[in-house]
Chain A
Amino acid sequence: MSELPPAGFPATPAAGSFDRRRFLDALLAVGFVSTAAAIAYPVARYLVPPDSGEAATNSVVAGKAAALKPNSGMIFPFGSKPAIVVRAADGQLSAFSAVCTHLECTVQFKPDASQLWCACHNGLYDLAGNVVSGPPPRNLERFAVNLRGEPGTEDIVVSRGA
């Protein structure tokens, strides 16, 4: 440690040492920046969660047809998202994604108006899933409805790709 400056630390570089100092500084900077990158990259990747790995749902049984009275709706899980099946006053069945196209609230059936209603921002859709009023930018995604099973105890089968 004999080459160390005495107390008081005079730090004047000798003449001609400037280029070497600059070179070493640059080397140091490259080292620090690459270390930062080697830390930032794995961390950034880590922060983004992996895909859930669940297969996309294409068809589910929503419930028993007999349980759904005319002029009512029922929300059921379609994969990880809510969907709604509606029986109109005339007995006609229809099903939609229950995710409002505005800000992803869950819509509900409004019996007095026979419409689908989103309580968050008062979005209204008709029973074909088309926007009637309010902020939703797009119509609700419509699903196909089929009945399966013995008459009287049929299941409502809802599938994507109507």
Chain B
Amino acid sequence: MVQHVLNWLDERLDLGGLKHFVSEKGVPVHAQEVWYYLGGLTLFLFAVQIFTGILLLLYYRPSATEAYESVQFIVTRVPFGWLIRNIHSWSANLLIGAAFAHFFSVFLLKSYRKPRELTWISGMLLLFLMLGFGFSGYLLPWNELSFFATKVGTGIAGSVPVIGHFLIRLLRGGDDVTGATLSRFFGFHVAVLPAISTALVALHLLFVQRQGMSVPLGVEKTLKPGEKVPQMPFFPNYILRDVLVWYVALAALAALAAFSPWELGKKADPFAAVPPGIRPEWYFLAMFHTLKLIPSHVLGFEGERLGVIAFGLVAVFLVFVPFVDRRSSDGRGSPWFTALAVTGVLYLVIFTILAQIAP
């Protein structure tokens, strides 16, 4: 039956090239191979987000008067609504975690080196988009915590030099965080960001398929001249391993959603005092804490403005890392960039913990 359908399609579309590609595609087998799973895991969680996000759209209402109530309705009245919403929230957090792990593993293995610069750039942009998803989605339940976190977060955007004021009004849809902000964030979250990131994911995957997996420099060095890294067939051997990882992720999601439900909190009240312990999502904590530590004025400049400029420069630098790290592109080790990545990991971990335990 399946063969019949395949033949029918083949006759019309000539699947020969695709079949050949799939049967020939191999994945290098070596000691660092475990990091290859992180990209697939991120992709799987992204798919979970699209699927559960579309389901949430069926009941969610993006307005200041109805958003909170509609989420409440989803988690209390709609059959399995609690499951869908909790999976969406948990998967969002795991997705950011997986994307960061993917980012650092690629960084440390220098997989961005020639010829994979474009894959790296598309991946960096995707990482920023994922943070945008997190930031915009956080507001949608319109609860107290997310309301004030958005106020602070969009306020920080106001510190960007020159275009700060424009940016703040663009993000908020006005001078304050109101129902207009909610409409906007909803639009970003369910239309603008998905459209851009879907296109970028497609491009990212196309690059990966076109070039195959990168073999780390350290592994390449151990090969004798003319020797090749052993390969594992992508289909079905590797894809089944990928699916196994996805299964574990799915099980983890189901368990987290069932045993550790995401709180909805209190409905946002623009005229209430900020509740104590207000903080952004964990993946913004390190940045949040850094900005808190910078003195209000440094050498006559506003401290926060300097912090925002610094983060912006780091982001731009990260996008162009493959072009800065010439040594690894030439096939030599680049310990400075390894040190940089390790510093980055340590900074994020330490500052996230500091922010977590800060009063």
Instruction: Name the contact of A46 in the complex, choosing from B55, B232, B247 (C-beta under 8 A).
Output: B55
Q: Does A1 contact B (CB under 8 A)?
A: yes
User: In angstroms, how far is the closest chain B Cβ from the Cβ of A116?
Assistant: 35
Chain B residues lying within 8 Å of A4, measured Cβ to Cβ, are 29, 230, 232
Q: Are A46 and B228 in contact (CB under 8 A)?
A: no
Q: Does A48 contact B (CB under 8 A)?
A: yes
Complex Cα spacing A48 to B79, Å: 8
Known: A4-B232, A7-B228, A7-B230. A46 touches B78 (CB 8 A): yes
Q: Are A47 and B29 in contact (CB under 8 A)?
A: no
Q: Does B81 contact A (CB under 8 A)?
A: yes
Q: Are A42 and B26 in contact (CB under 8 A)?
A: no
Q: Are B230 and A1 in contact (CB under 8 A)?
A: yes
Q: Are A43 and B79 in contact (CB under 8 A)?
A: no
Known: A1-B29, A46-B79, A48-B79. A6 touches B55 (CB 8 A): no
Complex Cα spacing A6 to B227, Å: 12
Interface residues of A in 43-94 (CB under 8 A from B): 43, 45-50, 53
**Interface residue count for A (Cβ, 8 Å)?**
16
Q: Can you give 15 contacting A-B residue pairs, CB < 8 Å?
A: A4-B232, A7-B26, A7-B228, A7-B230, A7-B231, A9-B26, A42-B80, A42-B83, A43-B80, A46-B58, A46-B79, A46-B80, A46-B83, A47-B55, A49-B59
Chain A residues lying within 8 Å of B79, measured Cβ to Cβ, are 42, 45-46, 48, 50
Contact bitstring B13-41, A, C-beta under 8 A = 1, else 0 = 00000000000001001000000000000
Q: Are A47 and B58 in contact (CB under 8 A)?
A: yes
Q: Does B292 contact A (CB under 8 A)?
A: no
Complex Cα spacing A11 to B23, Å: 12
Q: Are B233 and A9 in contact (CB under 8 A)?
A: yes
Chain B residues lying within 8 Å of A43, measured Cβ to Cβ, are 55, 80, 84
Contact bitstring B40-61, A, C-beta under 8 A = 1, else 0 = 0000000000000001001100
Closest A residue to B76 using CB positions: A50
Closest B residue to A7 using CB positions: B231
**Interface residue count for B (Cβ, 8 Å)?**
19
Interface residues of B in 67-84 (CB under 8 A from A): 77-81, 83-84
Nearest 7 interchain pairs by C-beta = A42-B80, A45-B79, A9-B233, A46-B80, A50-B77, A7-B231, A1-B29
Complex Cα spacing A42 to B80, Å: 6
Complex Cα spacing A35 to B249, Å: 13
User: In angstroms, how far is the closest chain A Cβ from the Cβ of B199?
Assistant: 27
Complex Cα spacing A53 to B230, Å: 63
Q: Are A6 and B233 in contact (CB under 8 A)?
A: no
Chain A residues lying within 8 Å of B231, measured Cβ to Cβ, are 7, 9
User: In angstroms, how far is the closest chain A Cβ from the Cβ of B321?
Assistant: 30
Known: A4-B230, A9-B233. A50 touches B78 (CB 8 A): yes
Contact bitstring B243-280, A, C-beta under 8 A = 1, else 0 = 00001001000000000000000000000000000000
Complex Cα spacing A108 to B78, Å: 36
Q: Are A46 and B84 in contact (CB under 8 A)?
A: yes
Complex Cα spacing A1 to B230, Å: 10
User: In angstroms, how far is the closest chain B Cβ from the Cβ of A21?
Assistant: 12
Closest A residue to B232 using CB positions: A4
User: In angstroms, how far is the closest chain B Cβ from the Cβ of A94?
Assistant: 38
Complex Cα spacing A63 to B83, Å: 46
Q: Are B80 and A45 in contact (CB under 8 A)?
A: yes
User: In angstroms, how far is the closest chain B Cβ from the Cβ of A66?
Assistant: 37
Chain B residues lying within 8 Å of A11, measured Cβ to Cβ, are 233
Complex Cα spacing A46 to B77, Å: 10
Contact bitstring B89-117, A, C-beta under 8 A = 1, else 0 = 00000000000000000000000000000
Contact bitstring A26-51, B, C-beta under 8 A = 1, else 0 = 00000000010000001101111110
User: In angstroms, how far is the closest chain B Cβ from the Cβ of A45?
Assistant: 4
Closest B residue to A45 using CB positions: B79
Chain B residues lying within 8 Å of A47, measured Cβ to Cβ, are 55, 58
Chain A residues lying within 8 Å of B80, measured Cβ to Cβ, are 42-43, 45-46
